[in-house]
Amino acid sequence: MAARADACSPLDSDGLFNEMQARKNWPSGGPPAVFDLRHADAYAKQHVRGAFHATVSPDDGELTVAGGSGWFDKAVCVYDETAESLDDHPVVVKLRADARARRVYFLTETYEAFHARYPFLCARGSSSSAMKRPPAYPSCIIPGLLYLGDLEDAAALPRLREHLNIRHAVTALADPPQSLKASVAEAKVDHTWCNVRDVEGGDIKEHFDKAIGAIERGSAKGHAVFVHCSRGVSRSASLCIAYLMKARKMSAAD
């Protein structure tokens, strides 16, 4: 059982977007359960896809999570009408006291702000998709500019173009599969190929300038750029780090 958290951890809309992309085999244990703390009428009208409506009874102090119980020992993110800290909200107090959540986050922005930023992650309460988790998206490194992902994300480039304005893909693979070529063609995105194998002796450094140039061209046009390899944890991550350090002058520690 997880230890009781002393306080909520803040997440802005981009942070919640990234947390929702976590995979089950990641150290975080997968995406958080999302609790909507607004009035039931507001929840019924529209909410984050897959979010549960959570309340604490004023009579017996029991936590009620409508429609869900599979959040035990998982991270939980709560949101409300306001952007204020939710440390003292009865639902959060109960979560921390019961120690049934691995970690508790709160959205530092209103639901309306999150919906304006990521409308495709929200749904009408009456929609068939309201309680279905949305498909995965790549991780956001720089909002509106740089995203990092894997081959599964690359196969969804048409959706990424529509939802995230991704109009350029940088591939760090030795042999791009046909599915990637088809996705690039369907999405009509610019494509930069860095021919590098996933081996210890592979020299990723020789591809830094090419990848950085692609990202900077996307930035100049106001477009987002998607960088990927097969799993999004080594070659493509190295290209993103190179961009952050060389173009954005970030330190290795940062």
Q: Which residues carry out catalysis?
A: 229
Which helix H or strand E contains 220, and what residues bound it? helix 208-221
CA distance to 9, 36, 169, 207, per residue, from 184 (Å): 38, 37, 8, 20
Measured in residues, the chain has a length of 254
28 backbone φψ class: left, alpha, beta (φ>0; ψ -120 to 50): alpha
Place of tokens 């061209």: 217
Phi–psi pair at 57, nearest 5 degrees:
-65, 130
**Pure H helices in 84-207:** 90-98, 111-117, 151-154, 157-164, 178-187
**Interatomic CA distance for residues 44 and 22, integer angstroms:** 26
Greatest Cα pair distance, the chain, in angstroms, is 65
3-class SS at 156?
A: coil
Asked if 145 and 130 count as a contact pair (C-beta separation under 8 A), the reply is no
For the sheet with 52-56, list strands across it: 9-11, 103-107, 75-79, 33-36, 52-56, 63-66
Q: Would you list the DSSP string of 91-119?
A: HHHHHHHHT-SSEEEEESS-HHHHHHH-G
Phi–psi pair at 140, nearest 5 degrees:
-90, 115
